[in-house]
Chain A
Amino acid sequence: MKLLTHNFLSSHVKGVGPRGFPLRLQASEVRIMPVEFNPEFVARMIPKVEWAALLEAANTLCLGEVPTEPTQGYEQDETFLRQMHHILLEVEVMEGTLQCPESGRVFPITRGIPNMLLSDEETAA
């Protein structure tokens, strides 16, 4: 699971709504997988990223240097874009958990795939 995906994932447990974001990340195994750099895509995603959630996730994974906010004129700043590309797209959480901040429900991550299946009681339907 990439950090970009984690930044958009939200808990869909019944009754939780917008308080289900962001999911608290715990990782026991992290891998770095190189991904081709596409500056246009990274620049498009920057405004949609929730920075507080990203910083929290990066801290739990001990990623080190993470910019605290997008620099002015980030679309042309290649160093900044490459850095964000690495953080968002190249860091893969292979084993760990995601926890819903509101309900406390834990979603396990195995082989890089989070298990988001809910039981019948937790489903909104």
Chain B
Amino acid sequence: MACGGRRPEHGGPPELFYDKNEARKYLRNSRIIAIQTKMTERALELLNLPDEKPCYLLDIGCGTGLSGDFLSDEGHYWVGIDISPAMLDAALDREAQGDLLLGDMGQGIPFKPGSFDGCISISAVQWLCNANKKCDIPAKRLYCFFTSLYSVLVRGARAVLQLYPENPEQLELITTQAMKAGFTGGVVVDYPNSAKAKKFYLCLFSGPSTFLPKGLNEVKDEEEARQSTFTKKRVPFRIAKSGVVKNRVVRKSREWVLEKKERRRRQGKEVRPDTQYTGRKRKPYF
């Protein structure tokens, strides 16, 4: 996981970084578990699998099987590949339900063509961009990975790869190799304006191109505004400056009324539904 400071890829190869200590974090640390699960949920959403049908999926960089557990909970069957024996051992301890393979994604995916209905990857692909051995050429390894991935997917299937690119050039390198391998698609960015919440999902389609899903965005002041938060806190709707009050919304206007109703709904209070009559101009004597 890339936190502020040195990126783990600069310290050495993934099979050494993800040792027993690191694996233990993925077993114990509730914050890491929560983040990984949320990203898997989003990746699965972007994968857009047919409703209610159990699928056979590939999990690249499955690690301790955190993402795989989510797939199993959704009723899917999966195969995971990871390069770290320590992480796979932890996955065995957690009794991950998918089949696990010890392998290097840069060497290709060792499956026959048309095996999988979809593929996800959480926080793994950026490791391909750093050469750990003298003979490694990142572009070649990326190309090998993407061509084999393209082959093992059923025609029309998607691959959603969540990753932490170090810089735009790295993202460009990864995307170029994916396109060269025959994929269409692009990068979906969630919460682009937040340093902490920003997430990159490389969405690749192996069939005819479809439209790219929209990234999630902040709503007003909160990032979690999609879920209802029942609080008694007042959410300020205007920025008050000393002396001069600059209203973002004119008081008593229809917009102001709608915002106030929305605020009260968020607080969990009972609010009448919005209709065409909401905030309409009343006769002067009301």
Q: Which residues of A contact B (CB under 8 A)?
A: 1-2, 4-5, 8-12, 18, 21, 35, 38, 40-41, 44-45, 48, 50, 89, 111-118, 120, 123-125
How far is B143's CA from A123's CA once the two chains are assembled, in angstroms? 13
In the complex, A122→B97 CA distance in Å? 30
* B257 within 8 A of partner (CB): no
Chain B contact residues, majority secondary structure: mixed
Which B104-151 residues have C-beta < 8 A from chain A?
104, 106-112, 114-115, 133, 135, 137, 140-141, 143-144, 148
Contact across chains for B53 and A44 when beta carbons are under 8 A apart = yes
Residues from chain B with Cβ under 8 Å of A116 in the complex: 81, 101-103, 107, 110
Query: Are the CB atoms of A12 and B109 closer together than 8 Å?
Result: yes
Shortest Cβ-Cβ A-B pairs, 5 listed: A116-B103, A41-B54, A12-B110, A12-B108, A8-B115
With A10-B112, A38-B54, A113-B88 as given contacts, are A120 and B133 in contact (CB-CB < 8 Å)? yes
Asked whether B171 is an interface residue with its Cβ less than 8 Å from the other chain, the reply is no
Q: From residue 231 to 279 of chain B, which have CB atoms closer than 8 A to chain A?
A: none
**Interchain pairs with CB closer than 8 A, number:** 83
Contact A21 B107 (CB under 8 A): no
Contact B53 A123, beta carbon cutoff 8 Å:
no
Q: Does residue B79 face the partner (Cβ distance < 8 Å to A)?
A: yes
Known: A8-B115, A40-B54, A118-B104. A125 touches B137 (CB 8 A): yes
- In the assembled complex, the Cα of A124 lies from the Cα of B106 at a distance in Å of 10
Least CB distance, A56 to chain B, in whole angstroms: 15
What residue of chain B has the Cβ atom nearest to residue A39's Cβ? B54
- Name B52's closest neighbour in chain A (CB-CB): A40
Contact among A35, A48, A112 for B100, CB-based, below 8 A:
A112
**Bound Cα distance from A123 to B83, whole angstroms:** 15
Flag if B108 contacts A117 (CB, 8 Å).
Answer: no
The verdict on B166 contacting chain A, using a C-beta distance below 8 Å, is: no
